[in-house]
Every structure is written in C-alpha cells, then in structure tokens.
Amino acid sequence: MTSANGSPSLPEAAETSAPSASGLSPRESSQCNGVSPWLSPLAMVLTQDVALRGFFSAVTVLGREWLPLSGPVLLAPTHRARWDALLLPHAAGRRVTGRDCRFMVTIDEMVGLQGWFLHRLGCFPVDQGRPTTASLRLAIDLLARGQQVVVFPEGRIQRIDGPIHPHQGLARLTQIAEGQGVPVAVVPVGIAYSRAIPRWGDQAALCFGAPLRSAGQGRQAARAFTLALSEAMGSAEQAARAAVGRPLPAP
C-alpha cells in the first residue's frame, strides 16, 4: 500500500500494540513468545561460551565503534552459514549492548523443536513466498521501542562469492518506519569464515560498517538505499574476510 505522498505505508491495524500483563503486545504474542527470561541466559552460555569457543579457534569482531548502543537499530548482515545466528548475539547481543537481537527468520525455520526455541528467543517469522504486513508491523513495533532487529537482506545462506543482492524488503521496512517517525539506524554487517563451510578449528570474523539511514520515500529511493546497503555490506565482508585470511577475489 502507498500513502498519498508516494511512500509505502501499512493499513490500519485492528489490534493494539500496547503490552499485556506478560509484557508482550498482542501483535508480538501472536507471532512469537518474546524473549524467555530463563531460556535466553542459558542459550547465551551454551552458544557463546560453549559452542563458539569450542568450535572456532578465534572469533574477531571489527568495527564495534559503529554499533549504536541505544535507539532503533536494524542489523543487516551477510548470510554465509548457520553460525551467523550465533555470531551476531556474540558481537551485538545483551552482553555487549544490553539488548537482545530480535531475528526476523523464514517461516520454515520456526517449526519443530528448533521453532520452539526460536519462538522463545525473540525470533519472529516472515513468509518470503507470501509476505504479509504482520512481520513488518512487528519489526516496526520493536524498533519503535528501541530494540535491535536483525534481518538478513539476502534472504538465505549464500556461499558462492559474488555481488551482494539485498532484497528491497529491508528498504521498504526502513521507509515505513521513518514515515512513522521511527529513525532507524541500519548497520551493514559482514561475516566471514576461514572456509565457505566452517569446520572445527576455523576462524570466524564479523565486521560492523557505518550506519545508514533511509533517504526519501518511493521506489527510486528504495533502489538507491538497497544499492548503498549492498556496497556497505560488501565492504564489511571484505574486512571480515581479510581478518580470517580469506580475502575476497579482486573484481
């Protein structure tokens, strides 16, 4: 849907976003269980202190000075392996920023035992084949509350070196948020491993880039923002790849 000035907008919501006694808004509780106060600390120990330290010989974080510690933040990382979902909370999660990483994940990831955990670790689903406004609404609600949302702009894991092609959905999300008075800092993130498919004892690196802001509304502005994001993600990935001794091939 488009507003009168040509900017994307969402239809009026029937439900309220006011938190319930559980601390979740009706919209949030309809899509996930929020962040479990007992499971989240346990997951941090198991993933960051056990899994990452036990699997990788070294984990390097670059550009941390670019990571905002307050205000609405949308992390836009490259997607190279399932380990990405563990590295991001390690580099930008509660121990670093005092807030959780709220992942927007594909709907097929939110099923079974894995889905049970993801629902309780702050993740919420998006159906890439048939996207609805529900995921956008929840993402904007979280950003408006000053939380940190993670969206993989490429959609799925990409292991073949080449140009980064973000989907324009992220640009649309930022435009809608800005149009509703939510100033979102979009932080490009590059993630790299010693090998395309990480193995035990490999190195991992994550690099934050300078935050971007959506400039203007409409399709042309969205395309320009998506191009800028692609270039920024590529630069961050180059730095991360250099840190693990696997530089990207020259263009």
Q: Does the pLDDT of residue 97 top 70, yes or no?
A: yes
Confidence of residue 34 (pLDDT cuts 50, 70, 90): confident
* Residue 44 predicted with pLDDT over 60: yes
The secondary structure of the chain as a DSSP string is: -B-TTS-B--PPPSS-----TTS--HHHHHH---B-TTHHHHHHIIIIIIIIHHH-SEEEEE-GGGS-SSS-EEEEE---STTHHHHHHHHHSHHHHSS-EEEEEEGGGSSHHHHHHHHTBT-EEE-SSS--HHHHHHHHHHHHTT-EEEE-TT-S---S-S-----THHHHHHHHHHHTT---EEEEEEEEESSSS--TT-EEEEEE---B---S-HHHHHHHHHHHHHHHHHHHHHHHHHHTT-PPPP-
> 109-140, pLDDT tens digit by residue?
888 888 889 989 989 888 766 656 778 889 99
Average pLDDT over residues 102-110: 89
pLDDT at 217: 87
Higher per-residue pLDDT: 24 or 38: 38
On the question of pLDDT at 63 being above 90, the answer is yes
For 185-207, what is each residue's pLDDT tens digit? Answer: 999 999 999 999 999 999 999 99
**pLDDT tens, position by position, 141-185:** 999 999 999 999 998 899 989 899 998 889 999 999 999 999 999
> What is the architecture, at CATH level 2, of domain 31-243?
3-Layer(aba) Sandwich (3.40)
Share of the chain above pLDDT 70, in %: 88
pLDDT of residue 199: 97
Of 31-45, 99-113, 234-248, highest mean pLDDT: 234-248
**Structure tokens given for 34:** 């929020």
For residues 206-229, average pLDDT: 93
- pLDDT computed for residue 41 by the predictor: 94
pTM: 0.88
Give the residue extent of every domain in the chain: 31-243
